[in-house]
Structure 1
Amino acid sequence: MRKRVKKQKPEIVTAKVSPSPTVYPQISMQRNFYKSHPWHGIQIGEDMPKVVTAFIEIVPTDTVKYEIDKETGFLKIDRPQKFSNIVPALYGFVPQTYCGEGTAVLAREKSGKEIEKGDGDPLDILVLTERTITHGDILCQAIPIGGIRMIDKGEADDKIIAVLKGDSLYGKWTDISECPKPIIDRLVHYFLTYKNIPGEEKVAVDIDEVYGAAMAHEVILKSREDYRNLVG
């Protein structure tokens, strides 16, 4: 008598498929759940130092000085602007930069002045544009054309001057030599006076030099090196 053999059911192999965003919306949202820190979480740009990303904190229409809170990455109120001195361009910083020892050494070599250290902040940037930008807390692509070597209380505090990439009026400038002198004078005057309060002792800020694009690139690269040393 023949022995009956049980037929085995064919094994069904199922492919692992990622959950659909419509079924598990919380999964697709995870990647955007946390806002990138403007200083540490945003890339400086692949074409730096010729083109850099700028995080804008304040604009010429602001009557309050905002600045980034280094711990949280949110904008905070630094102080109300009590007087008529307003920033003459978009003002912010270059992500993943830091004014540290290398930046101070560069400023000391170029100026021949006693500079103790960098100011310990990201590299400041001013972005010129013909358009009215109504608020800060935004990113833009900027083309550095020069800078202001500023020394504040013995600390290197360079200000990069840039133009908004694609701007129909300023966007084709590549060097500070193409910028009309009244615009440069306005920028310099702002930093010479923005900390002074009528009736109080004047704050001495040393504007050593207004330099061109080549030096601006050097400052950006040095501050980038300082940042890498800072974060290890």
Structure 2
Amino acid sequence: MKPTYKAHPWHGISAGEKAPEIVNVFVEIVPSDTIKYEVDKESGYLKVDRPQKFSNIIPALYGFIPKTYCDESIKELAVQSGATDVTEGDHDPLDICVLSSHHIHSGNLLMDAIPIGGFKMIDKGEADDKIIAVMVGDQSYGHVKDISELPEAEISRLKHYFLTYKNMPYEKASCRIDDIYGAEHAKKVITASMSDYEKKYGK
């Protein structure tokens, strides 16, 4: 028998045949996690990034889109949108949150998701976009086509998480959200990150 190998979740899986309209998502953490996991870039295995020291728990499934990378194209999009202090992308795969009404017990899995918008987040001069998506076929969220269709409370909950999840008590926030954008711009961000990936890791 020929040996079989597990595909690297960042480099060995595509962003999706229908990307950016429908994307593959590798889920790293779920709302019930009290530890923040992330993929080890070298091995592809999930590793412990840090325990969640405070009560800030991710309000949606969280991970990244395979074969994406945030570099010059992502930076240029942020600058074109008015973020004049951005100097670079964050040099990571593109982050994505997936809304679902289903209770998924753990990460380290793949799913299909439809991008509906995102946050233009700037973290210490780096463009660090967060794409918001809905799980394909979800009974509660599957019909949503744009972030403008979500209740304001849902958007505020996601926004609050990203503005505070790196903070230590009494420290000044290190990041900000300059804009909440809809599905069309989210697709531009995804396409730009796919282009950055090809430039960095392509042929």
Same fold (TM over 0.5): yes
Displaced runs of 4+ in structure 1, greater than 2 A? 201-204
The answer to whether 1:225 aligns with 2:195 is yes
Distance 1:189 1:76 in 2: 25
Looking at both structures, which has the greater relative contact order when contacts are Cα pairs under 8 Å and sequence separation is at least 6?
2
Q: Secondary structure at the match of 1:44?
A: coil
From 203, 211, 230, give the equivalent of 2:173.
Answer: 203
The letter of the residue matching 1:157 is D
Among residues 88, 105, 110, which one is paired with 2:59 in the alignment? 88
Alpha-carbon distance in 2 for matches of 1:206, 1:111: 13
Q: Please tell me whether residue 77 in structure 1 is matched to residue 48 in structure 2.
A: yes
Show structure 1 runs of 5+ residues with no match: 1-25
- Partners in 2 of 1:136 and 1:153 — Cα distance? 28
Secondary structure, in 3 states, of the residue corresponding to 1:111? coil
d(CA) in 2 for partners of 1:173, 1:81: 30
Equivalent AA in structure 2 for residue 41 of structure 1 = G
Which residue of structure 1 aligns with residue 75 of structure 2?
Answer: 104
Post-superposition offset of 1:189: 0.3
Secondary structure of 1:61's counterpart equals coil
What percentage of residue pairs aligned between the two structures are identical?
A: 58
> What do the CA deviations read for 1:104-150 (whole angstroms, capped 9, x no partner)?
01111112421000000000000000001110000000000000000
Work out the CA distance in 2 between the residues paired with 1:112 and 1:134.
37
TM-score norm. by structure 1 comes to: 0.85
Match of 1:213 in 2: 183
Q: Which has the larger radius of gyration?
A: 1
User: What is the alpha-carbon root mean square deviation over aligned residues?
Assistant: 0.9
Taking the aligned partners of 2:17 and 2:27, their CA distance within structure 1 comes to 19
TM-score norm. by structure 2 comes to: 0.97
| Residue 132 of structure 2 is aligned to residue 146 of structure 1 | no
Amino acid at match of 1:121: D
Q: How far 1:186 moved relative to its partner?
A: 0.3
